[in-house]
Structure 1
Amino acid sequence: MIRFITGNKHKVEEAEKIFKNFNIELEAIDLGYDELQGTLEDVAKAGAKYATSKLKKSVIVEDAGLFIKALNGFPGTYSSYVQETLGNKGILKLMENVADREAEFRSVIGYCAPNIEPKIFLGRVKGQIALEEKGTLGFAFDPLFYIEEKDKTFGELSTEEKNQFSHRKNSLDSFIKWYSQL
């Protein structure tokens, strides 16, 4: 049993489908924790450590962000805030007349258990910022994140298609590989 500390139902749905492939049961707990300013790794470590101290059980937390090369990695660790304030239309406005549209989604899983230091697992997926929003699937920046190999945005891919290679899948796979050896 893995306890996933999140209030984001989209993350839970994606993670449940991935964990199911490994016959690992997932329990979602909306505990909430302060997200410090820092890297995704800093946020994941601190969140996992906090949740473990409160629950006295092993947990995972996940922090993710969209990193746009032409914007020096922005929105990065501020992705959630930027999604709430600027939204996809704001990102498209920032990217007007920008030729280099390279971007990547990153996901960091933070794992912690009582009396051990947190461990982190990074997952990435490279793509481009589309010229316009496409698709209604997924959430947040998904309709902007274009995958050349698929010729679609994340917003046009079903959850099953996205779960084959997403940043969250990559970080969860890395975690599961490590966790399965415990």
Structure 2
Amino acid sequence: MYNIIFITHNKHKFEEAYEKAKLFNINLQWINLEYEEIQDDSLEEIARSSCLKILELRPDLKDKSFFVEDAGLFINCLRGFPGPYSAYVFRTIGNWGILKLLHDVPDNERSAFFKSVIAYYHSGKIELFSGVIQGKIIKSLKGSQGFGFDPIFLPAGSNKTFAQMNKESKNLKGHRGKSLQELFTSLSKPPSSLKDR
């Protein structure tokens, strides 16, 4: 069994990852650690930098396997906004603020995508894994599950927002579920240098 640590202060993210990890016989542990993220237009750079920052704060983790995850909502008619700044934008203007920005935007121009990037640290190196889900921003909030922008994002090919899906469905169809799938699949391929010894 692999032992991996997910470092996040977001309990909802850990719960999603924990359910997925069980399917791969992975023992996922949680460290709730606050750290300062860099401001960058690239989720990949933010995630990679976060791993390095964590190693500065917690040098005891250099012999462990851990990962961080960063995600963003990219709205095409807003040139990718809020993108890497999604958490800040959600805290400041929320779902209603996004809907207000898109008030006069017709249905066929409301396309968007969620992207998740995982930076996985092990054996002194960092590997990146990502997942993307295409969809659109609907005109009102729907559903009470999930968190963040889930109530306004309708995945392509679905008639339910992320906030209308249970955890299992969101894990299967969502961007974070896809990046976790990439990471956990890579860990289950023998022989693997990623194995936590």
Structure 1 length normalisation: TM-score? 0.95
Consecutive unaligned residues of structure 2, counting only runs of 5 or more, are 193-197
- How far residue 86 of structure 1 moved from its aligned partner, in angstroms, is 0.4
**Residue of structure 1 in register with 2:38 after alignment:** 36
SS of residue paired to 1:33: coil
The CA deviation at 1:50 is 2.6
Q: Residue 116 of structure 2 aligns to a residue in which SS? A: strand
How far apart are the structure 1 equivalents of 2:92 and 2:181?
31
Q: How many residues align?
A: 181
The CA distance in 1 between the partners of 2:70 and 2:77, in whole Å, is 22
Maintained 8 Å contact 1:5/1:28? yes
Larger radius of gyration: 2
1:27 and 2:17 matched: no
Q: Does 1:4 align with 2:11?
A: no
Determine if contact 2:134/2:156 at 8 Å carries over to the other structure.
no
Does the 8 Å CA contact 1:49/1:112 hold for their aligned counterparts? no
* 1:52 Cα offset (Å): 3.7
Q: How does 1:1-150 map to 2 (within 5 A)?
A: 1-38=3-40, 39-53=42-56, 54=58, 55-56=61-62, 57-99=64-106, 100-116=109-125, 118-150=126-158
Q: Deviations over 1:122-146 (max 9, x none)?
A: 1010111011000111001000001
- Secondary structure of the structure 2 residue equivalent to 1:31: coil
Shifted more, 58-67 versus 32-41: the winner is: 32-41
What RMSD in Å do the two structures reach over aligned CA positions?
A: 1.2
| TM score, norm. by length of structure 2 | 0.88
- In 2: Cα distance, 1:80 partner to 1:147 partner: 19
Equivalents in 1 of 2:158, 2:18: separation in Å? 24
- Between the aligned residues of both structures, percent identity stands at 46
Q: Which structure 1 segments of 5+ residues have no match?
A: none
| 1:66-92 superposed Cα distances (whole Å, 9 cap, x missing partner) | 000000000000000000000000000
Is 1:164 equivalent to 2:169 in the alignment?
no
State the alpha-carbon separation in 1 of the partners of residues 96 and 80 from structure 2.
Answer: 18
**Which stretch of structure 1 is more off in the superposition, 83-92 or 38-47?**
38-47
CA shift, 1:114, in A, is 4.4
